[in-house]
């Protein structure tokens, strides 16, 4: 089973929930930190990480001796990642989405592909949890291929928990598509509600079952709960604002270690998710 943990808004508590859920369940659980622009789950699990493995994506290079400057490569590229400029063809590798279209349409086979480095993958073990994360190179915009590379490490047949990046754009979709359940971490504030609605829209477009964790549940107002009721979204856990949670986090300590009374609550959260997945059927298989 694959559970992705997402939220429209950043800083809602995704990593707190993902790391504590993984460690509360322990043995054999896999945690994939797919927040590749700012991975931080390792700070709480503290695994000894394997040597970094480089992840690349294929981008075009043009053999100028073969190229006839016909311009068909530029015409097919919707991202303007390859253009004919005067007597030369210029590929813009940072804009390329690796679709291979330019290579396919080139009538004289002047285009080949090389790997462009996006970031690295590291993995390790800690607290019975198998851990994998991706680290996108600084300034790099193309995170979905790296997220897919991290997800390719999913161990079939086991329980995998994915810590997703914030937002509702391509990186989040890459992290949550084809998972069995999306756990949306939200907070009862107007900003939380606004971004929750966007996240629910994305989850529904993907046809995935989802449920909510309301974090800092004792702050703000009741509009998130009212929205959950109207939309039939189950609230699976509520976590109050607790200074001790923030303090533990700042020390790189897990909530289930600093406040052990939370461990059974995270186990119950998993049981509630498992019951829904059993009812709706697994999507990732
Ligand atoms: P995200 O992964 O969504 O960005 P994090 O789990 O990293 O969010 O949490 C963001 C910040 O909020 C951290 O500083 C964390 O300590 C704090 N935080 C999360 N939940 C609580 C809580 N229930 N009470 C107090 N602080 C919290
Ligand atoms: Mg996070």
> Domains in the chain and their CATH numbers?
2-28+158-280 (3.40.50.300), 56-117 (3.30.70.20)
CA of 73 to the centre of ligand 2 (A): 39
d(CA 265, CA 219): 20
Quick count: other Cβ atoms within 10 Å of Cβ 116? 17
Mutate to test the pocket of ligand 1, among 6, 8, 9, 11 (most ligand atoms within 8 A of CB): 11
Q: Give the integer Cα–Cα distance in Å for 231 and 234.
A: 9
Q: Which of 135, 137, 142 is nearest to 34 (CA)?
A: 135
Q: Alpha helix locations (H) across the chain?
A: 14-25, 42-45, 72-76, 101-105, 144-151, 170-176, 190-205, 223-231, 243-250, 255-258, 263-280
Question: From CA 80, how far away is CA 74, in angstroms rounded?
Answer: 7
Question: CA–CA separation, 179 vs 185, rounded Å?
Answer: 16
Quick one: 227 exposed, middle or buried, by C-beta within 10 A (0-12, 13-18, 19+)?
middle
Measured from the alpha carbon of residue 252, the closest ligand is: 1
- How do the pLDDT tens digits run along the chain, 285 residues long? 999 999 988 899 999 999 999 999 998 999 999 999 999 999 999 999 999 999 999 999 999 999 999 999 999 999 999 999 999 999 999 999 999 999 999 999 999 999 999 999 999 999 899 999 999 999 999 999 999 999 999 999 999 999 999 988 999 999 999 999 999 999 999 999 999 999 999 999 999 999 999 999 999 899 999 999 999 999 999 999 999 999 999 999 999 999 999 999 999 999 999 999 998 876 666
pTM: 0.94
Nearest CA to ligand 1 atom 5: 13
| Best of 9, 13, 188 for a ligand 1 pocket test (most atoms within 8 Å of beta carbon) | 13
> Which pLDDT value is given to residue 281?
76
Ligand 2 mean position to 12 CA, how many Å? 8
Distance 264 CA to ligand 1 centre (A): 19
Ligand 1 midpoint to CA 76 (Å)? 44
Nearest atom, ligand 1, residue 7 CA: 3
Instruction: Identify the pLDDT of residue 284.
Output: 67
Dihedral, 41, 47, 53, 56 alpha carbons, nearest 10:
-10
Report CA(25)–ligand 2 centroid distance (Å).
19
Identify the residues whose C-beta falls under 6 Å from ligand 1: 7, 10-16, 215-216, 239, 241-242, 245-246, 249
In this structure, what token pair is assigned to residue 1?
A: 């089973």
Q: What tokens were used for 100?
A: 């291979």
Sequence-separated (6 or more) residues with CB below 8 Å from residue 65: none
Which atom of ligand 1 is found nearest the CA of 19? 6
Model pLDDT, residue 81:
98
Of 238, 233, 239, the C-alpha closest to 276 is 233
Q: Between the CA of residue 58 and those of 117, 118, 139, 194, 231, what are the distances in Å?
A: 9, 10, 18, 37, 42
Provide the token pair at 192: 């939380």
Whole-number Å distance, alpha carbon 131 to ligand 1 midpoint, is: 20
| Atom 10 (ligand 1) nearest CA | 11
Q: Which atom of ligand 1 is nearest to the CA of 11?
A: 4
Nearest protein Cα to ligand 1, atom 27: 246
């Amino acid at each position: 089973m694959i559970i992705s943990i997402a939220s429209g808004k950043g800083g809602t508590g995704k990593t707190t929930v993902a790391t504590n859920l993984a460690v509360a369940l322990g043995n054999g659980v896999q945690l994939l930190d797919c927040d590749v622009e700012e991975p931080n789950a390792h700070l709480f699990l503290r695994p000894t990480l394997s040597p970094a493995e480089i992840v690349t994506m294929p981008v075009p290079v043009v053999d100028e001796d073969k190229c006839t400057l016909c311009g068909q490569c530029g015409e097919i590229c919707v991202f303007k990642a390859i253009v004919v400029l005067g007597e030369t063809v210029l590929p813009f590798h940072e804009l390329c989405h690796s679709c291979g279209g330019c290579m396919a349409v080139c009538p004289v086979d002047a285009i080949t592909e090389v790997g462009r480095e996006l970031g690295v993958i590291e993995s390790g073990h800690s607290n019975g949890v198998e851990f994998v994360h991706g680290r996108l190179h600084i300034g790099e915009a193309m995170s979905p291929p790296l997220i897919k590379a991290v997800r390719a490490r999913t161990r079939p047949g086991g329980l995998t928990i994915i810590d997703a990046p914030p937002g509702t754009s391509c990186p989040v979709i890459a992290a949550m598509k084809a998972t069995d359940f999306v756990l949306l971490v939200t907070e009862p504030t107007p900003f939380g509600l606004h971004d929750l609605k966007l996240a629910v829209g994305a989850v529904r477009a993907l046809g995935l079952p989802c449920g909510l964790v309301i974090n800092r549940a004792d702050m703000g107002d009741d509009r998130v709960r009212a929205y959950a009721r109207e939309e039939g979204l189950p609230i699976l856990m509520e976590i109050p604002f607790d200074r001790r949670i923030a303090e533990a986090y700042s020390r790189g300590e897990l909530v289930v270690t600093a406040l052990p009374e939370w461990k059974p609550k995270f186990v119950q959260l998993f049981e509630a998710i498992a019951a829904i997945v059993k009812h709706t059927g697994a999507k990732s298989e």
